[in-house]
Structure 1
Amino acid sequence: MTSSEPLIPKHGGYRKLKSFQVAQLVYDITVRFCDRYVDKYSRTRDQMVQAARSGVQNIA
């Protein structure tokens, strides 16, 4: 570590993480699946989409 590097690096590089990218993909596919196959007003649909969204938000 040189004297010009900060002791604690800047945050926010989570979008480059493979886990974030996969979680985002799972969310997108879940939404498309639910739009196509699950009733729009179903509680199951809400739970599936919320669970997929949580996966993304827990990484970010």
Structure 2
Amino acid sequence: MINTIDDAKVSAVIYSIAETAKSNNLKPYNYFELLLTEIPKRMEDTNLDFLEDILP
């Protein structure tokens, strides 16, 4: 259940990512798994170019 505006924003972002994955013929579960494994590996990087490689 959504209790705050911040929760609603987070839900909207997650839904948007899932729908974007689907519209690019990706499986949302697999795409979230990729994001959640690759982004933490690069948390210390100041160069964000790697994001282009994982965006649909």
TM-score by length of 1: 0.41
- Higher Cα radius of gyration: 1
With CA pairs under 8 Å and 6+ residues apart, which has the higher RCO, 1 or 2?
1
TM-score by length of 2: 0.44
